[in-house]
Each structure stands twice: as structure tokens, then as C-alpha cells.
Amino acid sequence: MPTIAVLGTLDSKGHEHAFVAQRIRERGHQALLVDVGTSEEPQVPVDITREQVAQAANLELAALLERHDRGECVAAMALAAPILLQRLQQEGRIQGVVSLGGGGGTAIATAAMRALPIGFPKLMVSTLASGNTAPYLGTKDITMMPSIVDVAGLNRVSKTIFARAAGAICGMVEAEPDATDERPIVAASMFGNTTECVNAAAPLLEAAGYEVLVFHSTGTGGRALESLIDSGLVAGVLDITTTEWADELVGGVLSAGPGRLDAAARAALPAVVVPGCLDMVNFGERDSVPARFADRLLYVHNPQVTLMRTSPEECAKLGEILAEKVNAYRAPVTVLLPEQGLSVIGAPGQCFHDPQADAALFDTLERGLNSRVEVLSIPKSINDPEFARACAEALLANLRAATGQAG
């Protein structure tokens, strides 16, 4: 019988969590009430006390409570709850988790959920679910459900939402995933402007016995790719779309942070790296582009997305950054350069086609790479089938070299 952790601040929202736990039991599952409250005594009986949660991180809860600093207490529980929940999951004692919360409760519960593996059922009912949820989700598959009313009592609206939440987490636990695919995984990065390249390269890798997982290079997607690589599940990396570095450097809206491209180095994975879509920086609607870029070449991709062409100076800096990142790779790695354009709109005849800027990127990248890194210049644009084939073949060669297989 599956057990679902019902985790929350049971000093202020105990009755609401107990309601969800009872609905879970009515559906034939067990519920494990976990208290992460730090104020009054819990309103309902609990299965795992706040003291036990704190002990998971070797924290002395009594000392924290004496200081009466709510922020410090929330931070402490956000540190301890992930350790406890991960332990329960690894020991097979829970098969899902649900929580109800406002600001503090959401911060604690989602921190705990982010410690759990992808695919493990996680549901957060929150007053913050309709706003910017990125800090709460991170790179994990946490489902957030708006509470509509505050999590402050049981009424006709809250009971409806909480009952549905109980049904949702039970359904997630009951849903059996497909049988595990045993093929080794290749993680690939893609953008709308490199879709044709990845779509052409992926079947060649799949025909060679690999499963290709594609990540959208939108900041969150790049961080998710790095997270998956760090998980140890990936055999190789087809990093065709490194565009997030343009946003990180110039100040666009789709940065994946300064750690982008680092996980493959840490994991010592065979890789292919391409400066895909480094000819563009992403902003929102046209009016959102900073005034300092008023004279730059802009392209309205759609009403919500405006692209800005990177300058030769920015491209030269991006080449330096990529070289520094790739030099840290310990497994076989190949850098492929599409000489005729880095994106759909960077190809000859398109609005972002700028051979001078591309050359600045290519030159600094090649000069910065150490001699161990293979560089292939292909006289095609990035979405040409010939370039896609070259990417796939280079990665397959690197995978073979990493495992000691003959060519």
C-alpha cells in the first residue's frame, strides 16, 4: 500500500493537512503527517515531529525556537526537510508527497520536493502558484496547484481544492510509468532556431542505440539539462544550442546562469558543443528591450519574444567563454562550427546573417581551445542536414572513444 507524505506547518495549517491525509486514506493509501512548523504546538497528531525533521540536518530546534526568528526557523526547516524527505524516499517509506502552504510553507515544502528524483510524485498547493514559480520548482517536476483562497481553515472553497489535491496526488502515485528504457541516454539542447538540426541528428543517434532527451534552451531548460547530467543518467551530450550564454553575458531573459556547460565537465562525459543561436539575445515583448539597445538589430519573433543580434564584440567574448568551459572537459569532446550561420535567421539571406560577428566568435573560440579539443568547421548553416549528420557522427565517435570501442 503506497504511503504519501503530507508535509506542512502543522502548527498553523494542521487541520487542513489532516483533511488531505484523511482523503488520501479514504482512497486506500497511507498518509504520513510530517510537521515542519516552528511556532505553536501542532494542531493535530503527527507521525514525524518537527524535532525529528530538524535532527535530520543535525539542527538543535530548541535553540532556534528560543530566538523567535521566524525567518531563521523557516530557513532551518528548508535545510532539514529535504534531507528527511530524501531519506524517506530512498528507504522506500514514501511513494509521493503533498503539501499546502503560504509563503513559508511553500518555501520549506518545495525545497524538500526539489531533493526528490524526477518522476517521484510531488504536489504543492500554494497561495503563490499563480505567480513566478521558478524559484520553487527549480529543475524538478513539482506540480503547483493554486489554493485560490488562503490555506487558513476549511470552507466550501478550500475543501474542494484540498479534496482535488488529495485525488491528484493519489492519482500520480497510482499511475504506473512505462517500462524503463534500457538504452543509454544522450542529452541534447534545442531552440526553435535549431530544431531542424536536432531533429535530423537525433534519429542517427537513436539508430545507433541511444535514447535522445531534448531540452529547450530557455534558461530553465538549460538548468534542467545540467541537473540531469549531474544525476549520472546520461551517457553523452549533444549541446547544439548554447544560446543561454548570450543571455547570461548580455543580460537577456533566458540565462541558465554561469554554470551552464559545467556538468559535462564534472561528469567527464563525451560531448559535442556547438555555438548554436549565440547570434541572439532574448527579451520579452518589443517594449521590454532595454533602452541601451535601442540602436541594435532587433527581430520580433512573436508578440512575447524579441531577439537581438549579438555584436562582434559580444561574439568574441562568447567565444572566450565557450573555450574556457570546453577546455575543462575530460572526456572526448568536439566543437563544430557552422560557417554559414548559427540559427535559422542567421543563415545567408536572413536578417541575423553577420559573417563578421560569426567570425569573431569562431576565431576567439578556436584560439582559446587547447589542442586536445577537436574542432570541425563545416561550410554549412546549423540546420543543414550535412551539419546535423556531422554532429551526430562526432558524438558517436566520442562515445566509442570513451568506452574504448573500435571505430
**pTM of the predicted model as reported, rounded to 2 decimal places:** 0.80
The residues that bridge with 309 in the sheet, in sequence order, are 280
Does 245 score more than 90 pLDDT?
yes
Q: Do domains 3-174 and 185-403 have the same CATH topology?
A: yes
Backbone angles phi, psi at 16, to 5 degrees: -65, -45
- Rounded Cα distance between 44 and 33, Å, is 9
> What is the tens place of the pLDDT at every residue in 311-370?
999 999 999 999 999 999 999 999 999 999 999 999 999 999 999 999 999 999 999 999
Domain ranges of the chain: 3-174, 185-403
Assigned CATH for 3-174: 3.40.50.12020
60-108 residue pLDDT tens: 877 777 776 778 888 999 999 999 999 999 999 999 999 999 999 999 9
Band of pLDDT at residue 406, cut at 50, 70 and 90 = low
The C-alpha atoms of residue 335 and residue 333 are separated, in whole angstroms, by 7
Q: What is the CATH architecture assignment of 185-403? A: 3-Layer(aba) Sandwich (3.40)
Q: Hey, is 155 helix, strand or coil? A: coil
**What is the per-residue pLDDT for 278?**
98
Q: In this model, does residue 282 exceed pLDDT 60?
A: yes
Distance CA 112, CA 124 (A): 11
Segment (H or E) for 314: helix 312-327
Mean pLDDT of the residues in the chain: 94
pLDDT tens sequence across 359-400: 999 999 999 999 999 999 999 999 999 999 999 999 999 999
Q: How confident is the model at residue 30 (pLDDT cuts 50, 70, 90)?
A: very high
Between the CA atoms of 187, 189, 190 and 196, what dihedral angle is there, to the nearest 10 degrees? Answer: -60
Q: Give the per-residue pLDDT at 49.
A: 95
Between the CA atoms of 279, 285, 288 and 290, what dihedral angle is there, to the nearest 10 degrees?
Answer: 20
What ranges in 102-250 are assigned the alpha helix state H? 103-114, 134-137, 156-174, 195-207, 220-230, 244-250
Is there a contact between 239 and 260 (Cβ–Cβ < 8 Å)?
no
Q: How far apart are the first and last CA of the chain?
A: 50
Q: Which pLDDT score is estimated for 405?
A: 67
Distance CA(159)–CA(163), nearest Å, equals: 6
Closest by CA to 108, choosing from 146, 72, 141, is 72
Question: Does the pLDDT value for residue 259 go beyond 70?
Answer: yes
Element (H, E) at 247: helix 244-250
pLDDT confidence tier of residue 39, bands split at 50, 70 and 90 = confident
